[in-house]
């Protein structure tokens, strides 16, 4: 697609339920990122995928959070047993991979985000 | 580990005046530096980046940023602010050897007419 697509755009869930957030990156982008933005806060790095390499999961806040990327394209961020503090905007982004040139590589393009509210 | 600091939570400037939004960074290798802007209820939009070359980088909407290696800074500037520039601005850094990109806490810019 033309841009990074995220779904759902809004999700209200009850505490304790599991949620799945989906990200469809820009076609041809091999790097994919997930960030979390709490109300009025900065961006918290969660995880990134680059091609077939093992993902960098260093930002995942707890073992309730997991993400996968199937076929090197679409990614799903799963939050199990949601808590109220999980309420935030979850932003997905993608970029071209290495070896693509300094002029066009490395810029991260963001989706509009998935707004999660845990009640 | 890489890190980014945006020392000001908020910057206030009058329309027509120059603006500066500060950013300092820490990274092991050569830095890739970025500025993004976020308007209310929207995702982040790319403004400009420094990869290599000229220290002064020009970007979208008349913004520019100057890479200063000795001061490890990458301040965002605009010669004449517009009310429509009011938004949340994020600085980001990536170690040139990898892909992990860390964002600062953001600086809210208010431009008063």
pLDDT reported for residue A87: 96
pLDDT reported for residue A41: 75
Residues of B within 8 A of A41 (CB-CB) are 105-106
Distance from CA of A9 to the nearest CA of B (A): 11
pLDDT reported for residue B40: 84
User: Is the CB of A7 inside 8 Å of chain B's CB atoms?
Assistant: no
Q: Is the CB of A107 less than 8 angstroms away from the CB of B94?
A: no
User: Is the CB of B106 inside 8 Å of chain A's CB atoms?
Assistant: yes
Q: Cα–chain-centroid distance for residue B16? A: 19
SS3 A85: helix
Mean pLDDT for B53-66 is 94
CA distances B80 to B9, B75, B77, Å, are 21, 15, 9
Looking only at the bridges linking them, the beta strands covering A88-95 and B107-112 are: unpaired
Q: What is the DSSP string of B42-99?
A: --EEEEEEE-SS-SEEE-GGG-EEEEETTTTEEEEEESS--GGG-EEEEEEEEETTS-
Distance from CA of B103 to the nearest CA of A (A): 6
- Cα dihedral B103, B104, B107, B108 sign: positive
pLDDT reported for residue A71: 80
**In chain A, which stretches have pLDDT less than 50?**
102-105
Which domain CATH number covers B74? 2.60.40.10
Q: Where are the domains of chain A?
A: 5-97
Nearest CA in chain A to B48: A107
Phi, psi of B94 (to 5 degrees): -130, 135
pLDDT reported for residue A1: 53
Mean pLDDT for B72-95 is 95
Strands, DSSP E only, in A4-83?
5-7, 10-13, 19-24, 31-37, 43-50, 65-69, 75-79
pLDDT reported for residue A98: 64
Cα–Cα distance between A114 and A116 in angstroms, integer?
6
* B33-55 pLDDT, tens digit each: 999 999 987 889 999 999 888 89
Q: Judge: domain A5-97, CATH 3.30.2320.50.
A: no
Provide the domain limits for residue B12.
3-112
Q: With beta carbons less than 8 A apart as the criterion, state whether A37 and A44 touch.
A: yes
pLDDT reported for residue A42: 84
Residues of B within 8 A of A50 (CB-CB) are 99
User: Is the CB of A21 inside 8 Å of chain B's CB atoms?
Assistant: no
Candidates A32, A43, A101: best to mutate against B (most CBs of B within 10 A) is: A43
Number of Cα atoms under 13 Å in the Cβ half of residue B56: 5
Q: Cα–chain-centroid distance for residue B111? A: 16
* A46-71 pLDDT, tens digit each: 999 988 888 999 999 999 999 999 88
Rg of chain B in Å (alpha carbons) = 13
């Amino acid at each position: 697609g033309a841009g990074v697509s995220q779904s759902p755009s809004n999700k209200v869930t009850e505490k304790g339920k599991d949620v799945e957030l989906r990200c469809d990156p820009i076609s041809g982008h091999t790097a994919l990122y997930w960030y979390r933005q709490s109300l009025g806060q900065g961006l918290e790095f969660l995880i990134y995928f680059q091609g077939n390499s093992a993902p960098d999961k260093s930002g995942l806040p707890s073992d309730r959070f997991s993400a996968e990327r199937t076929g090197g394209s679409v990614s799903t961020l799963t939050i199990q047993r949601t808590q109220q503090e999980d309420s935030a905007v979850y932003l997905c982004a993608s970029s071209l991979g290495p070896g693509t040139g300094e002029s066009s590589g490395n810029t991260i393009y963001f989706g509009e985000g998935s707004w999660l509210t845990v009640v | 580990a890489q890190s980014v600091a945006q020392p000001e939570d908020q910057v206030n400037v009058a329309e027509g005046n120059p603006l500066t939004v500060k950013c300092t960074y820490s990274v092991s290798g050569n830095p890739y530096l970025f500025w993004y802007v976020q308007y209310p209820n929207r995702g982040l939009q790319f403004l400009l980046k420094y990869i290599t070359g000229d220290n002064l980088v020009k970007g979208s909407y008349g913004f520019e940023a100057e890479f200063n290696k000795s001061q490890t800074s990458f301040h965002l500037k605009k010669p004449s602010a517009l009310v429509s520039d009011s938004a949340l601005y994020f600085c980001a850094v990536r170690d040139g050897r990898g892909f992990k990109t860390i964002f600062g806490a953001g600086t809210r810019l208010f431009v008063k007419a």
